[in-house]
Structure 1
Amino acid sequence: MKFEKPSVSIPDQIALLEARGMAVPDYAHATHCLQHISYYRLRAYWLPFEDAPQASGTHGFQAGTSFDQVLELYIFDRRLRLLVMDAIERIEVSLRGSWAHHLAMKYGPHGYLDPGLYHRPDRYAQAFAKLIEDLARSKDTFILHYRSKYDDPEHPPIWMTAEVISLGQLSMWYNNLKNRPDRQAIAKVYGLDESVLVSLAHHLTYIRNICAHHGRLWNKQVTVKMIVPTSPASLKLAMNGNTQGRVYNTIAVLGYLMDIVAPDNQWREQIAGLMDSCPLADKVAMGFPANWKNLAAWN
């Protein structure tokens, strides 16, 4: 099929929304938002307000829908992404440190480069090749200092490497460790089984990428799922086992991990405050259980 949709000016975009039944109380503000956010990005936030399609395929809006409601939902999602990114950043830094410290203490500063530590040689080769690329690109002072001062071993010790690799790469290095006791020792810091932490690191990489690229998060159908933890009890009770693939379980795990990596944080309170601030955000679509505010994790 040939794509034949025409380009549409911002005034015509507003006219189209009004024709479909959306109220636009402040024309100038709507023009500003469509200019600086874009019609296509905002489209994801007015989908919940649409009626069933007409025979022509056109979607009208439910009675009472306004542009301000769409913008409110967009702002809610933006604030949610910022909170999620804040938590993932702290957890990523902690996981880097735990990975580097365990392997450094057990195998030495450069032992992590021994192919014998890894289960899949092909994945090790892939991760090592990516590491070489990242190191070659790095302008970090500590990497430049190592190159200028040392030539044996050629590559930096693990505590420097840990500062260069991404969360996705860290997930691959950790997942590919051959010996379960190594994976388990790193996971023990977080009170989790290693299989859960392997799954979680992969999942958080996916969530982080959504946030970093400013994607819709609030009612996202998550395709890279994590193993739902069954321990410790405090985390198990906070989870919603009936809604795999929604963001609530991610939020619950982040809240648990934030208590470990950043004690006395106010992150859960900020999440609860955000949820209260936007009744338009359908909590069911996010996977929140009906009684979530009564769970111990949120009190």
Structure 2
Amino acid sequence: MTVADDARATHWLTHVSYYRLSGYWHIWKDRSVADVTRFRAGTDFDRACSLYEFDRELRAVVGRAVEHVEVALRGSWAYALAHRGGPHGYLDAALYSDRGTFHGLLGKVATDTGRSAETYIRRYRDQYDAPALPAVWMVAEMMSFGRLSRWYSLVAAPDLRTAIAAPLGLREELFVSIVKHLVDVRNICAHHGRLWNRGFRSPPRLPHRPRDLGASLDTARVGHAAGTLYNSLVLLIYLVRQIAPSSPWRDDLVAALGTRLPDERAAMGFPTDWQARPLWL
């Protein structure tokens, strides 16, 4: 590996750490000799640092898209449940596929309600004795994205799950899987993990419809290989288009991707013809 400036390299290794930064130069390792760390000719330390900085930008861009999905799901979940059973209809155990899991989640809502410093929760506690838990639209705003995902996946009735997924333009059985996946993506972004060439152990189920979405995804891969960041980004492009059609988010993503070389995009799972696929046009 070429290191042009020892002082700069020392600064990076001091403030980022060797182990964290090493995740950005694995793609240039020479794999021909086992148990020996060698790099292919032309590998440059500054390029690895540049890739690290790109990943920081990528996490920020992706985090904006996940925010759109998270906020939309909060609203859709609360709206559908309120229309089905009123402000506190979500407390009906018959709505859910597993009573034990439901009661566990309910206990966490009760704990969060008791501890919350949010103004709207304090007002509810001060004004109402029963029901002890707030209305569904308050609960939706109070819980984490991960917990909201669990509540949604626990809904038993397909028609109710469909009503929740409908505003986001996907079939409910696929949307459950996609939401779980996006929780993982969100957590990586929030905790400053490496996103750039991330593989996902539990990839989302990939839709074939609508046609432009199916044609943009990389469905040629099988198993865990389907869980590449490329497919995550395509799903986010589609979802942001449903939620915020005028958002420049896709253009911002394309601009960021345009700063990287083909082998760096390939490490994210990008097919060679990605720019010709419908959602990227």
* TM-score where L is the length of structure 2: 0.94
d(CA) in 1 for partners of 2:179 and 2:204?
9
Structure 1 residue 284 displacement after superposition: 2.5
Show the counterpart of 1:4.
none
Note the 1:83-122 alignment, pairs <5 A: 83-122=61-100
Cα distance in 2, alignment partners of residues 218 and 93 from structure 1 = 24
> Equivalent of 2:195, from 191, 205, 217?
217
Q: Percent identity?
A: 43
Once residues 166 and 199 of structure 1 are traced to their aligned partners in structure 2, the CA distance between those partners, rounded to angstroms, is 17
How far is the alpha carbon of 1:74 from its aligned partner? 0.9
Matched, 1:71 2:53: no
Select which of 256, 259, 267 maps to 2:238: 256
1:50 paired residue among 13, 22, 29: 29
- Letter aligned with residue 35 of structure 1: T
Q: State the Cα distance separating 1:53 from its structure 2 match.
A: 6.4
- Equivalent residues in 2 for 1:27-38, closer than 5 Å: 27-38=6-17
| Counterpart Cα distance in 2 of 1:238 and 1:54 | 37
Matched, 1:226 2:208: no
The correspondence for 2:59, drawn from 56, 70, 81, is 81
Residue equivalent to 1:270: 252
How many angstroms apart in 1 are the aligned matches of 2:2 and 2:21? 15
CA distance in 2, matches of 1:126, 1:287: 38
Distance 1:94 1:110 in 2: 20
TM-score normalised by the chain length of structure 1: 0.88
Q: How does 1:138-157 map to 2 (within 5 A)?
A: 138-157=116-135
Could you tell me which runs of 5 or more consecutive residues in structure 2 were left unpaired when the two chains were aligned: none
2:200 and 2:250 map into 1 onto residues whose CA distance is 21
Q: Is the 8 A contact 2:146 2:183 kept in 1?
A: yes
Could you say if the C-alpha distance between residues 281 and 272 of structure 1 is closer, same or farther in structure 2, counting changes exceeding 3 Å?
farther
Q: How many residues align?
A: 277
In structure 2, the CA distance between the partners of 1:289 and 1:52, relative to structure 1 (3 Å rule), is closer
User: Which residue does the alignment assign to 2:270?
Assistant: 288
1:197 correspondence with 2:175 = yes
Q: Tell me whether 130-139 or 260-269 shows the greater mean CA deviation.
A: 130-139
Q: Which residue of 2 aligns with 1:12?
A: none
1:280 CA displacement: 6.2
SS at match of 2:25: helix
- AA of the residue aligned to 2:217: M
Letter in 2 for 1:60: R
Q: Distance in 2 between matches of 1:210 and 1:258?
A: 19
Quote the offset at 1:281 in angstroms: 5.0
Question: Which consecutive unaligned segments of at least 5 residues does structure 1 have?
Answer: 1-21
Cα offset, 1:41, TM superposition: 0.5
State whether structure 2 residue 62 is matched by structure 1 residue 62. Answer: no
Closer/same/farther in 2, CA of residues 272 and 251 from structure 1, 3 Å limit: same
SS of structure 2 residue aligned to 1:286: coil
Equivalent position to 2:154, from 171, 176, 190: 176
**Partners of 2:27 and 2:267 within 8 A in 1:** no
Q: What do the CA deviations read for 1:198-253 (whole angstroms, capped 9, x no partner)? A: 11111111111111121111211211211101211221121110230211111001
Larger radius of gyration: 1
Amino acid at match of 1:264: S
Give the whole-Å Cα distance in 1 for the aligned partners of 2:195 and 2:220.
19
What SS does structure 2 have at the residue aligned with 1:277?
coil
